[in-house]
């Protein structure tokens, strides 16, 4: 059984991972706690998506002395149990969604860990009520009968979040959630993330974009060349000096209403 009382939901010690015959993560030491929404920030190629793969168990760390990865207090977890506590939204998942599936069916498929409802997958009345509630929560009820392939990028991203939220997970991990979104879609996404934080969902946002970090984030990690090179509060980490070093380019940070934007320095 998963330890339901653990406040540290992810614990990694001396984590190293390889992908395609090359090392992608090096000596990762990390604790992530419930109630502490965190942004993992870094340039393209830093290893951010590989960290997500470690979390969703599609990438496994190298076995070595004193190295381990614990999810919700356990080194070995049942994937179905894990799905009840951890929601993941990533680009590979988005690319597997059939274009003809309706928004409501996709959210219902989340109960079965699939991307469409199979012949033997029959949602209960309670599950249908829950799915519609989540669509309303994310302001997607008006598109519930529309095919996935006809939705905007912003609607698709929020719909995948709805699918991940049907189980009411403790933690929602988002890999580059603002990818390909226009200004309106990006603002809608940030509004949704803020609302989720306020209602008790612990978020992990993996991104290279400083301007999408919501004020509710409590912690920022810097990832660079597969290593964690910084860890602190947004006020400590999102400075001109530290961001210039992370991205290896001079930038100036401007802050307004709890959000930050960067400009060439």
> 65 and 113 in contact (C-beta within 8 Å)?
no
Distances (CA, A) of 104 to 68, 146, 183, 191, 196: 39, 8, 25, 22, 20
**101-105 CB contacts, 8 Å cutoff, 24+ apart:** 101/147, 101/148, 102/144, 102/145, 102/146, 102/147, 102/148, 103/135, 103/140, 103/143, 103/144, 103/145, 103/146, 103/148, 103/151, 103/155, 103/159, 103/162, 104/131, 104/132, 104/135, 104/144, 104/145
CB 186 within 8 A of CB 178: yes
Predicted confidence (pLDDT) per residue in 130-150, tens digit = 999 999 999 999 999 999 999
Which residues of the chain, if any, have pLDDT below 50?
1-5
Half-sphere exposure of 106 (CA within 13 A, CB side): 30
Q: Nearest Cα to 87, choosing from 198, 169, 210?
A: 169
Report d(CA 117, CA 87) in Å as an integer. 18
pLDDT, position 2: 39
Residue 4's pLDDT is what?
Answer: 40
Q: Are 227 and 46 in contact (CB under 8 A)?
A: no
Q: How far is CA 33 from the centre of its chain?
A: 14
pTM: 0.92
Q: Where are the domains of the chain?
A: 8-264
pLDDT at 68: 95
DSSP 265: -
For domain 8-264, the CATH architecture is 3-Layer(aba) Sandwich (3.40)
What is d(CA 211, CA 201) in angstroms, rounded to the nearest whole number? 21
pLDDT for res 32: 97
pLDDT at 3: 43
Which pLDDT does position 91 carry in this prediction? 85
CA-nearest of 256, 202, 168, 242 to 39 is 202
Residue 92's pLDDT is what?
84
User: So what's the pLDDT on residue 146?
Assistant: 97
pLDDT given at position 1:
33
Q: What is the pLDDT of residue 84?
A: 83
């Amino acid at each position: 059984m998963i330890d339901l009382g653990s406040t540290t939901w992810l614990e990694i010690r001396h984590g190293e991972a390889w992908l395609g015959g090359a090392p992608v993560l090096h000596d990762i030491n990390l604790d992530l706690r419930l109630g502490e929404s965190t942004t993992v920030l870094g340039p393209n190629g830093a290893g951010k998506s590989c960290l997500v793969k470690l979390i969703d168990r599609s990438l496994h760390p190298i076995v070595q002395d004193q190295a381990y990865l614990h999810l919700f207090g356990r080194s070995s977890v049942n994937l179905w149990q894990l799905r009840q506590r951890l929601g993941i939204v990533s680009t590979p998942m988005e690319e597997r969604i059939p274009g003809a599936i309706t928004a409501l069916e996709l959210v219902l498929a989340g109960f079965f860990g699939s991307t469409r409802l199979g012949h033997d997958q029959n949602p209960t009345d309670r599950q249908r009520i829950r799915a519609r509630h989540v669509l309303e929560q994310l302001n997607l009820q008006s598109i519930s009968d529309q095919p996935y392939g006809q939705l905007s990028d912003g609607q698709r991203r929020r719909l995948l979040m709805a699918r991940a939220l049907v189980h009411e997970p403790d933690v929602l991990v988002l890999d580059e959630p603002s990818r390909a979104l226009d200004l309106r879609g990006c603002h809608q996404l940030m509004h949704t993330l803020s609302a989720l934080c306020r209602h008790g969902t612990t978020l992990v946002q993996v991104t290279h974009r400083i301007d999408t970090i919501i004020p509710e984030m409590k912690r920022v990690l810097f990832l660079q060349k597969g290593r964690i090179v910084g860890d602190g509060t947004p006020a400590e980490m999102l400075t001109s000096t530290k961001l210039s070093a992370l991205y290896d380019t001079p930038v100036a940070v401007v802050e307004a209403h709890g959000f930050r934007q960067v400009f060439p320095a």
